[in-house]
Each structure stands twice: as structure tokens, then as C-alpha cells.
């Protein structure tokens, strides 16, 4: 009797410690499993929407991957078009056509062949030939103020070179007078013209040619001779 009583007390104590096992078929916190899945999808959508809103507020842009995750942007994207704003009450401005009227197409064979023939080309050449004018060769005019001695002719006709004595001179003029008188001329050409105009090369009243080579103030005829030789060689 005592053993039976003790076994009953032990079973009662064991049953008080064991928790109730939930029914898995009833779902987790819901009436059934389908309701649980629906609630879970709504929570995930809300979290994705909140993340999208935060990114838009911080960067102002939304990635294509995030749009695709929300089911946005799966259709055909609209075609971008460029439009111009026309003021109300005014006519739209049409672009002006590009013209190349100032460019010749004479090098374009197809363009020339469309409008030219053998006959028209021959007529054009004849018209151009008729416009040619042949100028008659005449003597060069004499410029005013240039009627003095021709130093070019003198340079070509002189028998000697610069520094080679050719005419006799009296040693009456000093080097100082030679330098003083030559300093009055702007160029050696001017000195040579004046020298020839006043009796040179035989006479030298101003002392411009003390060595008697026929060239005043160091004037050199060689550049004129070289130029003439080059011209004659051509």
C-alpha cells in the first residue's frame, strides 16, 4: 500500500515538471503556416522599402538592382527624346540648311561629268585663252632723281677689284679728311655716285679715293658682279 502511494506521489511530481509540447501543425504564433508566410513576406517588403527610402534620401539615386528587387523597371524603358521649348504664340524655329556654295567641286569627277561635256570643256578653254594678254617688252622708265651716274654699270665695267690701285693720286689729303668727307654720306653707294659725278674715277677732288682703286669710301663692286653673274647663269 505504501509502495503504491509513493509511486502515485512521484508520478504527480513528474507531471508537474514536464511542459506542454506545442502543436507544430498549428503554425508559429499564427493560426496556420500560410498566414505565417504571408506575414513574413510583408515584413521583408517593408524592410526593402525602408532601405530604398534611406538610400534615395542620402544619394538621390537608386541602383537598377534595387529597382529590380522591388519589381520596378522590368518593362521596356521609355525612349528618351530631345525637345526644345517654344515660347507661347511664336512659330518654331527651323534650322538653317548647311550650304557649301563657297567650295568648288572641280576636283569631284562625278560632279563635273554631270554638267560638262567634251564640247563645253573645249569652249571653256577657248574662252580662257581669249582672255590672255601678252604684254609688250619696253624699256624701264627712268625714275625722277635717279639720273646720276649708274654705279651698277660702273661696277661691271671697272677693270680692277677693291683695294687694287688703278689711278694715280697725289698724296695731298690726309686720312682724317678722308674719314670726315666719307662720313657725310649715308651709304657707300651714295659716296660712289657723288665721286663719279665730280670727275671720278680719274679725278678725286674730295679725297674719297686716296688709294686710287676708283672706289670711293670703300665702296665694293663685287656684290654687283656676283649678282650679274648669277643672273647671266640662269
Instruction: Show me where the domains of the chain are located.
Output: 151-233
Residues 99-108: pLDDT tens digits? 555 677 777 7
3 in Cβ contact with 10 (< 8 Å): no
Residues 88-142: pLDDT tens digits? 556 666 666 665 556 777 777 787 778 788 888 888 888 888 887 777 766 655 5
Q: In a 10 Å sphere around its CB, with 0-12 CB exposed, 13-18 middle and 19+ buried, how is residue 103 labelled?
A: exposed
pTM of full prediction above 0.75: no
- CA neighbours closer than 13 Å in the CB half-sphere of residue 199: 9
For the residues of 138-191, what is the DSSP string, one character each? -PPPPPTT--S--HHHHHHH-SS-TT---S---TTS-HHHHHHHHTTSSSHHHH
Amino acid at each position: 500500500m505504501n509502495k503504491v502511494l509513493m509511486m502515485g506521489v512521484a508520478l504527480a511530481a513528474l507531471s508537474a515538471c514536464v511542459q506542454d509540447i506545442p502543436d507544430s501543425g498549428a503554425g508559429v504564433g499564427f493560426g496556420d503556416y500560410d498566414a505565417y508566410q504571408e506575414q513574413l513576406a510583408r515584413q521583408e517588403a517593408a524592410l526593402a522599402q525602408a532601405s530604398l527610402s534611406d538610400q534615395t534620401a542620402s544619394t538621390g539615386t537608386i541602383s537598377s538592382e534595387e529597382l529590380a528587387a522591388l519589381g520596378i523597371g522590368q518593362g521596356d524603358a521609355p525612349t528618351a527624346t530631345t525637345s526644345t521649348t517654344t515660347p507661347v504664340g511664336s512659330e518654331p524655329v527651323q534650322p538653317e540648311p548647311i550650304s557649301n556654295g563657297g567650295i568648288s567641286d572641280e576636283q569631284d569627277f562625278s560632279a563635273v561629268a554631270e554638267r560638262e561635256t567634251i564640247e563645253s570643256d573645249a569652249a571653256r578653254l577657248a574662252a580662257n585663252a581669249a582672255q590672255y594678254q601678252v604684254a609688250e617688252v619696253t624699256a624701264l622708265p627712268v625714275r625722277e632723281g635717279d639720273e646720276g651716274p649708274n654705279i651698277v654699270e660702273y661696277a661691271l665695267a671697272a677693270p680692277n677689284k677693291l683695294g687694287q690701285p688703278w689711278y694715280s693720286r697725289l698724296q695731298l689729303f690726309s686720312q682724317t679728311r678722308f674719314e670726315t668727307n666719307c662720313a657725310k654720306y649715308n651709304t657707300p653707294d651714295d659716296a660712289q655716285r657723288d665721286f663719279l659725278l665730280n670727275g671720278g674715277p680719274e679725278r678725286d677732288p674730295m679725297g674719297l679715293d686716296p688709294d686710287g682703286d676708283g672706289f670711293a669710301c670703300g665702296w665694293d663692286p663685287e656684290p654687283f658682279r656676283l649678282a650679274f653673274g648669277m643672273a647671266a647663269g640662269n
